[in-house]
A and B are shown apart, each in its own frame.
Chain A
Amino acid sequence: MSLELLLQSTLSGLLMGAMYALISIPLAMSFGVMRVLNFAHGELLMCAMYGAVLLNKHFGMGPYTTILVLAPAMGLVGFALFHGLIKPLLKSSMLMQAQFTLGLSFVIQSAALLIFGADLFNIRSPVGVAVLTVAGIAISVPLIIGLAVSMSICGALAWVLLKTEWGYRVRATAQDPAMALMCGIPVPRIHAAIFAGGTAILGIAAGCLMAFFHVTPHVGVQFSLLSLLIVVLGGLGDLKGTFYAGLLIGLTESLASALFNSAATPAAVYILFGVVLLFRPKGLFGRGSVA
């Protein structure tokens, strides 16, 4: 492997990994606080991606501008979804939650197919094709923006959770919801805010993704599987672990693609996944749940 190929793969892998982290963070949040593993996570992202396409088509909005509409809209969707479907599931077994959210993912997928057909959609914009070339290495501008957004959101989340009173309440809810309730923390409201906030982050991720990626009714499943992989690798419920696991998966995918010829990429990712969990069953930093 040439140095150029190595650098190109490393850089694009890390940048892609930051996007993966941004997509996976909401899943880690909802599991960390509510112990809900949402298998329809990717489909919610897919809905936001279709939303970006519609906003672009009907109002000429660029991918990043759509975030201004998508984030609050997805927040509302998340809020409604939480009260309508997720809240009744909170006391159910994890298997039932998985079955239910899997079913939800199929419903969303079928609805997307009925509404949009199987066609592939993307958003073409000047920023989407912008590239910085440094010493022969191409760095996609949308990926750099994705990294900046991902780091900003993860940083902001960490600050809120660690430095604010509201963050203390969230952490207390995550640790022991019954005790938190007895201490006067409005646990149901915290749950709703976390789910709605996480879904709003998916709106942000969708805007960033649509600058360089595409959407089909099948894309949700791919991102659901990817997010689950990252969240488990990072340690269930561990936000810091999720961020680094996203980077690691992006890097592994990219290097496997550069090093090996072919189908090795998914295999390499799962080998890494197996090896890490063998030695770190609670995720990269050993802080996740083993539930």
Chain B
Amino acid sequence: MHFHALKLFVACAAIAAGSFPALAADPILVPVLTPLTGAIADLGQDTKKSVAIAVEQINAAGGINGRPLVVELVDTQGRPDIARRETERVMNTKKGAVVLGCDGSAGTSVAAQVAEQAGVVYMNSGAVSEEFFQRGYTWYFSDQVTGTDEAGAAIGLVEHLFRSRNPAPRVAFLYEDSPRGTGTTQLLKDMAAKKGIPVAATLSYNRAERNMLPLITKLRESGATVVVWTNYLEDTVAGLSAMRDLGYFPYVIGVGNGAGHARLPTLISPEVMQKVRLSVVDYFNTDLPRASAFVAAYSKRYGVPPSGYASLCYRGIHTLKEALTIASRGGAAVTPASVKAALMTLDIPGDKTIAPYRFIKFDKTGRNLGTQSIVQQWRDNGTKKVTIWPLDVANSKPDALP
């Protein structure tokens, strides 16, 4: 009786002191902010699928120092107002040390701000905007590529294609007028100007646009033979259909998930994809040996290979798993400070990730210094994508300009 009373007293005292160590079986909760519904719901739905696999794999391998990893998917609808409300709700009700964001730039922009104010680590695995690094945030980390990485890869390929071509071919930039499209295209224009690449036209369009024929006619009239196109899936399908209708087949390099989407060959004739030598700047390649286990697990469960979107949070969860393993070592309580300190010490070799990165290592601004974008090209009637750029990681040569 006295023994039980003593145990109860010790437990109460420890709780009161706020220093009660986590039990070995206490789960570690990571809220995942992602657009499960709304205009970019395909990002959230793919995230949902890959997160389920990641969590199962981590827990099957013993969890995080024996503690199970639990995620809670939080729907931001890709909208800043909803992202703010949901991030605040998660901060207030879950009291977690870290949140993972697999959202577009609009949602990430406010969610990262809310996390910063709350002093909680925000790990971004989705948005590519550079601007977040310039805000002076101390709790923001991103293992995702940036717009600069993407623009660098696209312009690198354009420069390669232009080499020894006389007269120089004409390049045009085409983009949806979202912050993502506008920001990436500005970077592309700046890089093209620095490299002396002649630009025939810069054209934008609204997401609500349903008739792409006038826009593609304008593009054709500019005389562009290479089009660098920042796009999503809907506009990719509509734009390629318009190119087919007009019989205009420039060399198309897509930036964003549209041109590389796994389902694209079922939505548009592979012949058209072949004619425009459809290429895509991406952050994931199913052909990478390091991604094979993930690709196999995903394909087995869902019957289709994972999209680039699906790779984001899978990678992000594994990055966080490494940090949480360090932070919770020896049964230590997982706090925002301990997770942040762990992230700062991380140095994950490239071949331990599913991304084509050199490594994952964060600088003081939270930027991953080891990111690398690649360019893939659709081949064999849309049955596969091969990596064509940069040449040192490419497994095939880019198709030449016509």
Partner-contacting stretch, out of A9-17, A83-91, A237-245: A9-17
Quick check: is B86 within 8 A (CB to CB) of the other chain?
A: no
Selected from A109, A138, A222, the residue in CB contact (under 8 A) with B247 is A138
Quick check: is A2 within 8 A (CB to CB) of the other chain?
A: yes
Q: Say yes or no: B267 contacts A9, CB within 8 Å.
A: no
Q: Say yes or no: B41 contacts A218, CB within 8 Å.
A: yes
Q: Say yes or no: A122 contacts B237, CB within 8 Å.
A: yes
Partner-contacting stretch, out of A166-174, A181-189, A195-203, A261-269: A261-269
- Given A214-B237, A263-B177, A265-B209, the answer on whether A12 and B214 have CB atoms closer than 8 Å is yes
- Given A5-B217, A8-B217, A258-B217, the answer on whether A122 and B267 have CB atoms closer than 8 Å is yes
Measured between beta carbons, the chain A residues less than 8 angstroms from B214 are 5, 8-9, 12-13, 254-255, 257-258
Partner-contacting stretch, out of B16-24, B116-124, B200-208: B200-208
Q: Say yes or no: A140 contacts B245, CB within 8 Å.
A: yes
Q: How far is the CA of A8 from the CA of B242 in the complex (A)?
A: 12
Q: How far is the CA of A254 from the CA of B267 in the complex (A)?
A: 24
The total of interchain contacts (Cβ-Cβ below 8 angstroms) comes to 108
- Given A254-B214, A258-B214, A258-B217, the answer on whether A129 and B269 have CB atoms closer than 8 Å is yes
- Given A122-B267, A133-B247, the answer on whether A262 and B234 have CB atoms closer than 8 Å is no
- Given A110-B37, A138-B246, A263-B177, the answer on whether A212 and B241 have CB atoms closer than 8 Å is yes
Quick check: is A113 within 8 A (CB to CB) of the other chain?
A: yes
Selected from B206, B233, B267, B269, the residue in CB contact (under 8 A) with A266 is B206
Measured between beta carbons, the chain B residues less than 8 angstroms from A122 are 237, 267
Question: Considering only CB atoms and an 8 Å cut-off, how many residues of chain A contact the other chain?
Answer: 41
Selected from A5, A9, A118, A263, the residue in CB contact (under 8 A) with B42 is A118
Query: Which of B38, B214, B244: most chain A Cβ within 10 A?
Result: B214
Q: How far is the CA of A263 from the CA of B209 in the complex (A)?
A: 9
- Given A129-B244, A257-B205, the answer on whether A16 and B177 have CB atoms closer than 8 Å is no
- Given A9-B213, A265-B209, the answer on whether A113 and B267 have CB atoms closer than 8 Å is no
Quick check: is A165 within 8 A (CB to CB) of the other chain?
A: no
Quick check: is B163 within 8 A (CB to CB) of the other chain?
A: no
Closest CB in chain A relative to B256 CB, distance in Å: 14
Q: How far is the CA of A133 from the CA of B209 in the complex (A)?
A: 23
Quick check: is B260 within 8 A (CB to CB) of the other chain?
A: no
Q: How far is the CA of A131 from the CA of B211 in the complex (A)?
A: 15
Measured between beta carbons, the chain B residues less than 8 angstroms from A262 are 177, 203-206
Q: How far is the CA of A101 from the CA of B366 in the complex (A)?
A: 46
Measured between beta carbons, the chain B residues less than 8 angstroms from A234 are none
Closest CB in chain A relative to B265 CB, distance in Å: 10
Q: Say yes or no: B246 contacts A118, CB within 8 Å.
A: no
Q: How far is the CA of A117 from the CA of B266 in the complex (A)?
A: 16
Q: Mark A13-39, 1 if CB is under 8 A from B, else 0.
A: 100100000000000000000000000
- Given A124-B269, A253-B210, the answer on whether A263 and B37 have CB atoms closer than 8 Å is no
Measured between beta carbons, the chain B residues less than 8 angstroms from A129 are 241, 244, 269
Q: How far is the CA of A212 from the CA of B205 in the complex (A)?
A: 19
Q: Say yes or no: A12 contacts B211, CB within 8 Å.
A: yes
Quick check: is B297 within 8 A (CB to CB) of the other chain?
A: no
Closest CB in chain B relative to A171 CB, distance in Å: 33
Q: How far is the CA of A214 from the CA of B234 in the complex (A)?
A: 8
Closest CB in chain B relative to A128 CB, distance in Å: 9
Q: Say yes or no: B37 contacts A266, CB within 8 Å.
A: no
- Given A16-B211, A120-B42, A124-B269, the answer on whether A265 and B217 have CB atoms closer than 8 Å is no
Measured between beta carbons, the chain A residues less than 8 angstroms from B208 are 222, 265-266
- Given A113-B41, A119-B263, A133-B247, the answer on whether A16 and B210 have CB atoms closer than 8 Å is yes
Closest CB in chain A relative to B335 CB, distance in Å: 35
Q: How far is the CA of A13 from the CA of B215 in the complex (A)?
A: 12
Q: Mark B226-253, 1 if CB is under 8 A from A, else 0.
A: 0000000110011001001111000000
Closest CB in chain B relative to A137 CB, distance in Å: 9
Q: Mark B182-224, 1 if CB is under 8 A from A, else 0.
A: 0000000000000000000011111011110111011001000
Measured between beta carbons, the chain B residues less than 8 angstroms from A213 are 210
Residue in B closest to A131 when the chains form the complex, CB atoms: B245
Residue in B closest to A16 when the chains form the complex, CB atoms: B211
Quick check: is A216 within 8 A (CB to CB) of the other chain?
A: yes
Residue in A closest to B246 when the chains form the complex, CB atoms: A138
Q: How far is the CA of A129 from the CA of B241 in the complex (A)?
A: 8
Quick check: is B338 within 8 A (CB to CB) of the other chain?
A: no
Quick check: is A63 within 8 A (CB to CB) of the other chain?
A: no
Measured between beta carbons, the chain B residues less than 8 angstroms from A146 are none
Measured between beta carbons, the chain A residues less than 8 angstroms from B42 are 117-120
Measured between beta carbons, the chain A residues less than 8 angstroms from B203 are 261-262
Q: Mark A116-149, 1 if CB is under 8 A from B, else 0.
A: 0111111010000101010000101000000000
Measured between beta carbons, the chain A residues less than 8 angstroms from B217 are 4-5, 8-9, 258
Measured between beta carbons, the chain B residues less than 8 angstroms from A78 are none
Residue in A closest to B213 when the chains form the complex, CB atoms: A12
Q: How far is the CA of A109 from the CA of B38 in the complex (A)?
A: 9
Q: How far is the CA of A261 from the CA of B263 in the complex (A)?
A: 30
Closest CB in chain B relative to A176 CB, distance in Å: 39
Measured between beta carbons, the chain A residues less than 8 angstroms from B268 are 124
Q: Say yes or no: B206 contacts A263, CB within 8 Å.
A: yes
Quick check: is B45 within 8 A (CB to CB) of the other chain?
A: yes
Measured between beta carbons, the chain B residues less than 8 angstroms from A265 are 205-206, 208-209
Q: Say yes or no: B213 contacts A118, CB within 8 Å.
A: no
Query: Which of B217, B244, B263, B267: most chain A Cβ within 10 A?
Result: B217
Quick check: is A62 within 8 A (CB to CB) of the other chain?
A: no
Q: Say yes or no: B45 contacts A117, CB within 8 Å.
A: yes
Top 9 A-B pairs, shortest CB-CB distance: A118-B41, A258-B214, A262-B204, A9-B214, A118-B42, A12-B213, A257-B214, A118-B45, A263-B177
A-B contact pairs, 5 of them (CB 8 A): A5-B221, A9-B213, A16-B211, A138-B247, A218-B41
* A124-B266, A140-B213 known, 16 other contacts, Cβ within 8 Å: A5-B214, A12-B214, A13-B214, A110-B37, A120-B267, A122-B237, A124-B268, A131-B245, A138-B247, A214-B234, A214-B238, A216-B234, A218-B41, A253-B209, A257-B214, A263-B177
